[in-house]
């Protein structure tokens, strides 16, 4: 390891093997810069990692470090602030996770319920992944790790906070929501990690990050990790980090693709893209594959087209609910589907083992998006294949990406689904077509993955709340009226509101209907042309008085003829007119 002085104040720096690199009098952003010129795998036990954590890592098959971990651990274990910069897929999570967990193990806990470590990430998928890695490394410590992000119900997260946690991994939005509701206090945080800091700033989280930093104690250890180091990240570090050491796992500052990833670029026609993709997905040795699209609509269209061709495919993008996104990722990780079509929401921090191919179905926006996409393969030293489709209209954008990364592929070869070089470069058998043979459709598919009830609406029917399947909550446990029963109830019966049309609800307190037949209070009279058709009602007052029934009780036989003896008035003949004159 080599240490060098920040350019603002050239002064000698102490650089001793096996010790932290510290510059005592450097007020700049980089109190020290450490790079990996010839970094090699180092056993975790040689870097001062506790035996309990080493045993947990060894149980997961992890024995030695990656370059970013070997450079970060000696400094971070000493409690110093760090700016860690390394390409995606290089193991940054354990670079900050091991010091975080070991500090929790060594320091006493003042409040048993308040979190002492906080990890802030930009996306939900990355929060889940980081939390899983921390649980794996702390399996022998009993550390309580809680994941907080939007799309899930508040109640389970609030209950977990009340029970007590040690580490919180969260996205900025849900974290500040719970802090504002006074369910979470950050006053006991001793270690703060900002993972993928540049992505958080790109997504507009800078005000939220600033507020989170202000809510935590000033005497804390802050570690900031990112694949790229933009100017906004440097400004944030100058304002909130205390004499940080800038740790780089590469000898050059310019972003570069993963060396173990084989890159192919083809100029394709948009009407033939899906045919080319179907053949790429049948290449020899292909495992799990990520297909990236620019828009959510394009992702849905590509997934639907692949499904009709026999491929086991799932989709992840922003329009899907959190439960659907997690279901698709679980199915992809478990191998029930081997093709995941996604937008850039999955490009950051998504770590899935055995991803052999990444396909850019549409040209990325810039070189950063390109690196983040193809960084899903070739991770942890494994080999990978990245394929990019460039349309004619995207050629200028691709030339800028190629120039920034030095790929020397500014003019991709014109490629169709029948081009020989497509089959040769990607090891595709010449016998394949645009449809996956039935004999190769061995994946269980997305339907085989259960849908997890994550309480996205925040309601729980088990607690006596209304059923989420109905609007009013009155149709629960099979009590909904059938269409036939509603039709039999009629317009004025209990079929509408249970009390007739416009009537009051006569349901009893226990839910049973106690509606009784109503007495008719008036008689509806038929009229024609504005005149009543009942002869008795058409009489003059004098005629009505003469024909009135005598006072006193009237027997039923005598009243019957009066009720049935009404006669209709003679029908008035309507004359047809034309222009105000009679037509006859």
What are 37's two structure tokens? 């010129």
Q: What is the pLDDT of residue 569?
A: 56
Contact 135, 119 (CB under 8 A): no
Which span out of 69-73, 298-302, 353-357, 504-508 was modeled with the highest average pLDDT?
298-302
Give pLDDT, residue 405: 92
pLDDT band at 33 (very low <50, low <70, confident <90, very high): low
Q: Which residue has the higher pLDDT, 93 or 490?
A: 93
Q: Is the dihedral of CA 65, 66, 72, 76 positive or negative?
A: negative
Contact 326, 150 (CB under 8 A): no
Q: Is the pLDDT of residue 225 over 50?
A: yes
Output the pTM of the full model: 0.64
CA 492 to chain centre: 47
Tens digit of pLDDT for each residue in 401-436?
999 999 999 999 999 999 999 999 999 999 999 999
SS3 for 384? strand
Helix H or strand E segment including 194: strand 191-195
Side by side, the strands of the sheet bearing 355-360 are: 313-316, 339-342, 288-292, 355-360, 384-390, 261-267, 413-414
Residue, of 50 and 32, whose pLDDT is higher: 50
Residue 50: phi and psi, rounded to 5, are -65, 155
Superfamily the domain 2-248 falls into: P-loop containing nucleotide triphosphate hydrolases (3.40.50.300)
- Output the furthest CA–CA distance in the chain (Å, rounded): 129
Contact between 251 and 87 (Cβ < 8 Å): no
What pLDDT score was predicted for residue 309? 97
- What's the whole-number average pLDDT of the chain? 77
Do the beta carbons of residue 178 and residue 148 sit within 8 Å? yes
pLDDT at 572 over 90: no
**Three-state SS letters, 142-153:** CCCEEEECCCCC
The pLDDT of residue 489 is above 50: no
Q: What is the pLDDT of residue 531?
A: 64
Domain positions in the chain:
2-248, 261-447
**Nearest C-alpha neighbor of 73 from the set 56, 86, 57, 92:** 92
**Which pLDDT score, from 0 to 100, does residue 277 have?**
97
Closest CA to 96 of 203, 247, 234: 247
CATH topology of domain 261-447: Rossmann fold (3.40.50)
Q: Do domains 2-248 and 261-447 have the same CATH topology?
A: yes
* Average pLDDT for 102-126: 89
Q: Which residues contact 309 (CB under 8 A, 6 or more apart)?
A: 278, 434, 435, 436
pLDDT at 521 over 70: no
CA of 55: how far to CAs of 62, 75, 80, 367, 559, in Å? 9, 22, 25, 39, 103
Q: Which pLDDT band, with edges at 50, 70 and 90, does 582 fall under? A: low
Q: Average pLDDT for residues 382-400, to the nearest whole number?
A: 94
Element (H, E) at 304: helix 296-308
What the block records as the tokens of 202 is 């790109």
Choose among 171, 160, 128, 155: nearest CA to 457.
155
3-state secondary structure of 256: coil
Nearest to 419 by CA among 265, 271, 276, 273: 276
pLDDT reading at 131 higher than 90: yes
Q: How far is CA 466 from CA 206, 463, 473, in A?
A: 39, 9, 4
Residue 331 has pLDDT above 80, yes or no: yes
The mean-pLDDT minimum among 204-208, 510-514, 528-532, 547-551 falls in: 510-514
Q: Are 169 and 193 within 8 A, CB to CB?
A: no
Cα–Cα distance list, 411 to 261, 367, 399 (Å)? 20, 16, 8
CB atoms within 10 A of CB 534: 15
How far apart are the C-alpha atoms of 92 and 190, rounded to whole Å?
20
Give the pLDDT score at 525: 64
SS (H, E, C) 37-98: CCCCCCEHHHHCCCHHHHHHHHHCCCCECCHHHHHHHHHHCCCCCEEEECCCCCCHHHHHHH
User: Rounded to an integer, what distance in angstroms lies between the CA atom of residue 387 and that of residue 359?
Assistant: 5
Contact 118, 96 (CB under 8 A): no
The predicted model gives 137-145 an average pLDDT of 94
Q: What is the pLDDT of residues 318-329, one digit of tens each?
A: 888 888 888 999
Given a cut of 50, whether residue 574 has pLDDT beyond it is yes
The end-to-end CA distance of the chain, in Å, is: 116
Lowest mean pLDDT among 270-284, 298-312, 439-453, 515-529: 515-529
CA 213-219-221 angle, to 5 degrees, is 70
In 268-414, beta strands by DSSP E: 288-292, 313-316, 339-342, 355-360, 384-390, 413-414
Please give the average per-residue pLDDT across 88-104, as a whole number: 89
* Per-residue pLDDT, 259: 76
- Give the torsion through C-alpha atoms of 236, 242, 243, 246, to 10 deg: -50
- 34 pLDDT more than 80: no
If we measure between CA atoms, which residue out of 360, 350, 352, 347 comes closest to residue 298?
Answer: 360
**Higher per-residue pLDDT: 235 or 192:** 192
Cβ atoms 89, 378 nearer than 8 A? yes
Both structure tokens of 122? 């930009």
In angstroms, the CA 355 to CA 378 distance is 8
Cβ–Cβ < 8 Å for 494, 515: yes
Distance between CA atoms of 570 and 253, rounded to whole angstroms? 104
Average pLDDT rounded to a whole number, residues 541-548: 47
Report the DSSP beta bridge partners of residue 221.
191
Q: Which of 108-117, 381-390, 458-467, 528-537 has the highest average model confidence (pLDDT)?
A: 381-390
Residue 91 tokens read as: 């193991």
| 534 DSSP assignment | B
């Amino acid at each position: 390891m080599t240490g060098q002085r920040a350019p603002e104040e050239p002064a000698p720096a102490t650089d001793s093997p096996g010790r932290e690199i510290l510059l005592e009098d450097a007020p700049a952003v980089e109190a020290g810069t450490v790079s990996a010129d010839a970094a090699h795998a180092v056993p975790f036990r040689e870097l001062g990692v506790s035996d309990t954590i080493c045993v947990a890592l060894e149980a997961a098959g992890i024995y030695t470090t990656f370059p970013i971990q070997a450079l970060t651990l000696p400094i971070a274990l000493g409690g110093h602030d760090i700016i860690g910069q390394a390409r995606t897929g290089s193991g940054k999570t354990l670079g900050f996770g091991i010091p975080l967990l070991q500090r929790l193990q060594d320091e006493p806990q003042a409040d048993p319920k308040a979190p002492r470590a906080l990890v802030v990430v930009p996306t939900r998928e990355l929060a889940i992944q980081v939390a899983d890695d921390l649980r794996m490394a702390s399996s022998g410590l009993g550390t309580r790790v809680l994941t907080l992000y939007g799309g899930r119900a508040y109640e389970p997260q609030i209950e977990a906070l009340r029970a007590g946690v040690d580490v919180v991994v969260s996205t900025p939005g849900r974290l500040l929501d719970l802090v504002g509701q006074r369910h979470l206090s950050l006053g006991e945080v001793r270690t703060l990690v900002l993972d993928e800091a540049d992505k958080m700033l790109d997504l507009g989280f800078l005000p939220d990050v600033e507020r989170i930093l202000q809510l935590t104690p000033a005497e804390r250890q802050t570690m900031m990790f990112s694949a790229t180091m933009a100017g906004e990240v440097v400004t944030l570090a100058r304002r909130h980090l205390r004499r940080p050491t800038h740790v780089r796992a590469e000898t050059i500052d310019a972003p570069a693709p993963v060396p173990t990833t084989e890159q192919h670029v083809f100029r394709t026609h948009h009407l033939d893209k899906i045919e080319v993709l179907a053949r790429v997905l049948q290449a020899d040795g292909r495992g799990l594959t990520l297909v990236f699209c620019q828009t959510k609509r394009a992702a849905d269209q590509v997934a639907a087209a692949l499904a009709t061709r026999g491929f086991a495919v799932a989709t992840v993008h922003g329009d899907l609910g959190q439960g659907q996104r997690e279901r698709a990722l679980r199915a992809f990780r478990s191998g029930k589907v081997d093709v995941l079509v996604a937008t850039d929401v999955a490009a950051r921090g998504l770590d899935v083992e055995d991803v052999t191919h990444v396909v850019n179905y549409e040209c990325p926006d810039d070189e950063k998006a390109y690196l983040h996409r193809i960084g899903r393969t070739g991770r942890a030293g494994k080999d990978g294949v990245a394929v990019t489709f460039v349309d004619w209209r995207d050629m200028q954008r691709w030339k800028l990406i190629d120039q920034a990364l030095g790929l020397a592929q500014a003019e991709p070869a014109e490629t169709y689904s029948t081009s020989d070089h497509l089959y040769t470069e990607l090891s595709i058998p010449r016998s394949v077509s645009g449809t996956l043979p039935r004999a190769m459709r061995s994946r269980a598919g997305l339907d085989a993955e259960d849908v997890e009830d994550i309480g996205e609406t925040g309601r729980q029917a088990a607690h006596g709340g209304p059923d989420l399947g109905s609007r009013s909550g009155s149709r629960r446990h099979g009590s909904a009226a059938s269409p036939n029963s509603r039709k039999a109830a009629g317009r004025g019966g209990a079929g509408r509101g249970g009390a007739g049309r416009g009537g009051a609800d006569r349901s009893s307190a226990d839910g049973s209907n106690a509606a009784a037949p109503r007495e008719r209070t008036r008689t509806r009279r038929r009229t024609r042309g504005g005149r009543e058709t009942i002869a008795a009602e058409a009489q003059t007052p004098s005629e009505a008085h003469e024909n009135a029934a005598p006072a006193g009780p009237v027997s039923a036989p005598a009243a019957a003829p009066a009720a049935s003896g009404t006669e209709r008035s003679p029908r008035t003949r309507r004359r047809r007119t034309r222009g105000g004159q009679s037509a006859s």
